[in-house]
Amino acid sequence: MTFFEIMLLLFLIACAISIFFIKRLVNAVVVFMSYSAIMAVLWLSLESPDLAITEAAVGCGITTLLFILALKKVNALKEDGEADRDEHNI
Amino acid sequence: MSIISEEGKKTLTSFSDWVSANSPDIPAEVVYPPKKDDHGHGHDDHGHDDHGDAHCDAHEEAHEEAHEELRSSAYEALHASDAPPAAPAAVTAQPKEKETVTEEGPMTERTFVRTLGAGYRLIAAVCGVLLAIILLVTVAFLPRFGSAENPALNEVSRRYLEEGLTDTGAVNTVAGMILDYRAFDTLGESIVLFTATVTVIFLLQQSRRKNDEARALEEEDLQQGVRSLPARVVIGIAFPFAMLYGIYVVLNGHLSPGGGFSGGTILGGTLILAHLAFGEQYTQRFATITRCTGILSVALLVYMGLKSYSVLTGANGMESMVPLGTPGSIFSAGLIFPLNICVGLVVACTMFTLYSLFTKWKA
Amino acid sequence: MGNLFTNYYELAAMLLFVIGFLTLLIQRNLIKKIIGMNIMDTSVFLFLAAKGYVAGRMSPIIRDGVTDASLYINPIPAGLVLTGIVVAVSTTAFALALALRWYQQYNSLDVDWTALKYLLKGEK
């Protein structure tokens, strides 16, 4: 069980570091979504099931949707040919 | 949005040619309205030296008012990309020149900003490493993870666990804690949600005309939902069950894991799912922004009304008002049951209102 | 070194906090900054919940009326984090609304570029 938890924690750190380096914003948001899902599993292993329910609904659902809606509003979701719309040319 | 636009450069050359050809005839205010020129100073001076003194005066006036004009000029530059490229008239060509000037500006400013940015990042990285070292040293001196000698396990948590069932009647100690012992704290959190909703409404509200434009332009998916039939069928089947699960989590907050916060997020997420699948035409039958903010306010007021009893009795809890019932049955735990419903409504309406505001907004 | 590696939850929470802090400081894009703020949020929640955990005990839901404090974990961090998660969503929505208004004003989410293009030019 300890090994499992350490793997999940390492995955969390890897997700956070990759969010720092990912250029395309949609990918960063999706990685953040998987970060939240792993966090929900960790709440369960910390014997806090109510936190797991909340984090699963909030992190994977509502926060991600708000981020993706905001990206849609700033036209970061389109793949137009002239330039890849990453963090530096939005 | 690409910064360098070839058309802008072309327009600039043609525009400056046109200006130098026509400058004796045209008064300076027309060619260079001071209001629109505050960005361009310092670069076009070499190009337009032959304009004379009136030009320079216009420049200086513009610089004194630069701060006031910043907003309007930014607005113009924002619309510059929408303007048609050609048309060598002074008014339409001016924003184009502005964009190009940003590109070909003097290198001192650009290098200054770059150096400042690099230095800032270096300092930030050093601060981050220092912070990491301090935090990790602190972690090394914390009590062992999972040990029962943790000083956080003091008499407060012991009291909550041992007396909580008789004090509050809630089987779920967390619900008993946040809605009975610390209900004022939860009231503050609900007010934070309310404030966030109001602030986002204030930030993202738009005129009705712009709203209708946005509606007419696109957002067909948001109006009518996704077109994919399997997604609609699956969400149509799952929607009532997810709703039921959210209501179950809210109502069973004092008996099982969950409560107003968890169930409220599930309810809000389910409403958002219905909005995604079937569009606004479907969800506006039962959930609009106006209705949601109304429910939010009423739930907050009911919460305050229920909790103000404990102020009147000297903040001694509310055990004398409602019988606690037998622990484990659904109508037990005194006021925790209605308070859970209030918190669930507040959270669900907040989530759905935030989502709807974000869908309706248009830049 | 003390308990540095036995406290692996706290260790990971601190590392996540620093990564989120650096994302918030260094990244130039506002959306990235907001994601960094969210990572800091969750790392603090992870730290709190890890401090409340006791090995071998159950979640704080009274089973069969047995109110023995040595059977259950600490309920206080769970209560604090439960409200904190929901408040984090509302602050995220507020920050995103501010970012959208920034985009409406400056047509860019890159803070440095906006400063270069508008603020310095306007001041000169």
Report the run of H or E that residue B63 belongs to, with start and end.
Answer: helix B53-64
- Give the C-alpha separation, C103 to B79, whole Å: 13
Mean pLDDT of A42-46: 89
Residue C62 belongs to a domain with what CATH number?
1.10.287.3510
Is B285 a domain residue?
A: yes
Paired tokens of B56: 């320079």
ipTM (interface pTM): 0.87
Tell me the pLDDT tens digit for each residue of B245-262: 999 988 888 888 888 888
Q: What is the pLDDT of residue B140?
A: 86
Q: What is the pLDDT of residue B316?
A: 61
Per CB-CB distance under 8 Å, the chain B contacts of A29 are none
- Could you tell me if B30 and B160 lie in one domain? no
Contact A84/C at CB under 8 A: no
Task: State which residues form the domain around C56.
Answer: 8-123
- Give the C-alpha separation, A10 to A4, whole Å: 10
More confident: B177 or B222? B177
Query: Alpha helix (H) ranges present in chain A?
Result: 2-21, 25-45, 49-57, 64-73
CB atoms within 10 A of CB B84: 7
Tell me the pLDDT tens digit for each residue of B40-93: 333 333 333 333 333 434 444 444 444 444 444 444 444 444 433 333 333 333
The residue with tokens 């602030």 is: B199
Mean pLDDT of chain B: 69
Is B222 a domain residue?
A: yes
Is B148 a domain residue?
A: no
- Pseudo-torsion of CA B41, B47, B49, B51, nearest 10°? -90
Per CB-CB distance under 8 Å, the chain A contacts of C58 are 47
- Could you tell me if B213 and B336 lie in one domain? yes
- Could you tell me if B293 and B334 lie in one domain? yes
- Dihedral (CA of B186, B189, B191, B197) sign: negative
Is C1 a domain residue?
A: no
Q: How far off is chain C from A71, nearest CA to CA, in Å?
A: 8
Number of structural domains in chain B? 3
Query: What's the alpha-carbon Rg for chain A, to the nearest Å?
Result: 15
Chains in contact with chain A (at least 3 beta-carbon pairs closer than 8 A)? B, C
* b (16+ CB within 10 A) / e for B302-313: bbeebbebbeee
Task: State which residues form the domain around B126.
Answer: 107-142
* b (16+ CB within 10 A) / e for A52-78: bbbbbbbbbbbbbbbbbbbbbbbebee
Is B73 a domain residue?
A: yes
- Could you tell me if B114 and B240 lie in one domain? no
Is B147 a domain residue?
A: no
Number of structural domains in chain C? 1
Mutation target for C interface from B116, B129, B145: give the one with most C CBs within 10 A: B145
Contact of C81 with A54, CB cutoff 8 Å: no
Distance from chain centroid for Cα B341: 26
CA distances from C113 to A89, B101, B103, B154, C106 (A): 9, 14, 11, 52, 10
Is B283 a domain residue?
A: yes
